[in-house]
Amino acid sequence: MNTALSNGSLRGLAAAVLLTASAAQAQTPAPPAAPAPPASAPAAAASTAVAPPPAPSRGPLVAGVCLLSQDVLIGRSKVGQAATARLRELAAQVQANINAERVRLEARGKALEEKRATLTPLQIQAQSQALNQRGQALQAEAGERSQQIDATKTKAFNLVLQQAQPFVAQAYAAHACGLLFARETVLTGNLGNDLTDDVLAALNAKGTPVTFDLEPPRPAR
């Protein structure tokens, strides 16, 4: 049985770190895009086309019930976008370090294969075991770095929302709100008391970039 570290397992190491720029961006929800207009019906069928049913009524404005989208505050504010860019930068640095170590490990495995004929079975076994152990350690390190990026993202977005909090309070008072709900939980209705645009404008005008670095690893249990 070949105990050398396989190239297939090595190539899988990078996949253990879900730290690409697209991941950082994917977890920052953007405002929904407007639906695309339906394709035009053929001219011959235009006269017989059935009109779509009317949209549901917005209904009356519910006094004291207000809405806010934290996703929009993070995804569209200057502060939130700067935090997302910083997260991508940190993720790229972590991924580059993992990839560099993976390449070094693959080179060591290739070198061992090339000199296999000159080594004793005990030497091959010892060096193969050392490579496998380093590969397992690298996999564990990749998982740890992924957790660090997740923790850093949570901290960064919380900092953005904390900075928005005074503007939320101002808009809450200005609209005479009694309850504040996440806008993402509302299916339809009268959204006249949506505070998001007011808070977003204030955050863009008065907010300052948040600073943060990669969070430390979680303590071992």
What's the predicted TM-score (pTM) here?
0.70
**What pLDDT is recorded for position 51?**
52
**Higher pLDDT pick, 54 / 209:** 209
Mean pLDDT over the full length of the chain = 81
Q: What would the two tokens of residue 11 be?
A: 């190539």
**Higher pLDDT pick, 13 / 205:** 205
Q: What would the two tokens of residue 1 be?
A: 């049985």
Closest to 67 (Cα-Cα) out of 165, 169, 172: 172
- Provide the β-strand partners of residue 67: 181, 194
Q: What would the two tokens of residue 198 be?
A: 């007011």
Instruction: Give the DSSP letter of residue 193.
Output: T
Percentage of the chain lying above the pLDDT 90 cut: 67
Q: What digits encode the pLDDT tens for the residues 36-68?
A: 333 333 333 334 455 554 455 578 888 999 999
